[in-house]
Amino acid sequence: MAMAPKRIKHRKVQRGRIKGNQTRGCNIDFGDIALVALEPIWLSAKQIEAARVALNRKINRKGQVWIRVFPDKPISKKPAETRQGKGKGAPDFWAAVIKPGQIIFEIGGVDLELAEAAIELAGSKLPIKTKTAFRHNVE
């Protein structure tokens, strides 16, 4: 089951735009190593899940993984070959709004070489540029 909110206030939301850099959720608070987004994007629940599965497989489900983002924005889509007008399309998937600097995953409890390889693999599953960040008191 893909990530989605249990209940929401509004079924459809306006698109909005992603301006500026992330100011919250950009410190490594839980693990020792983190995956940081460098570009703005709507990250779908499927993309987050694909990266998470790759991450967990790489570290053989040892240690601990924190997912720091949650897809709470419904993205709607009109059906193919539909004329304009007739209202907004039905919700298609859920997305997390990602700004540059947002931490997406954190890993702790495994050795740093393995954790770094896992973070790189998870970053390769995502359609944006990412970087690896380390906690200051580690290494």
Residue 139: pLDDT over 70: no
Q: Using CA atoms, how far apart are residues 115 and 122, in angstroms rounded to an integer?
A: 10
What is the value of pTM for the model shown?
Answer: 0.92
Residue 111: pLDDT over 90: yes
Give the max Cα distance, the chain: 58
Residue type, 103: I
Computed on alpha carbons and rounded to an integer, the radius of gyration of the chain in Å comes to: 17
- With respect to residue 26, please indicate whether it lies within any of the assigned structural domains: no
DSSP-assigned letters across all residues of 69-92? ----EEEEEPPTT--S-S-PPEEE
CATH of the domain at 59: 3.90.1170.10
- How do residues 23-78 score in pLDDT, each as one tens digit? 998 999 999 999 999 999 999 999 999 999 999 999 998 999 999 999 999 999 99
Tell me what the mean pLDDT of segment 116-122 comes to. Answer: 96
pLDDT recorded at residue 61: 82
- With respect to residue 84, please indicate whether it lies within any of the assigned structural domains: no
- How do residues 68-97 score in pLDDT, each as one tens digit? 999 999 999 999 999 999 999 999 999 999
Task: Provide CB contacts within 8 A for 27, sequence distance 6+.
Answer: 103
Output the six-digit token pair for 133: 């960040």
Query: Total domain count for the chain?
Result: 1
What's the domain range around 51?
Answer: 33-76+91-134
- With respect to residue 53, please indicate whether it lies within any of the assigned structural domains: yes
- With respect to residue 85, please indicate whether it lies within any of the assigned structural domains: no
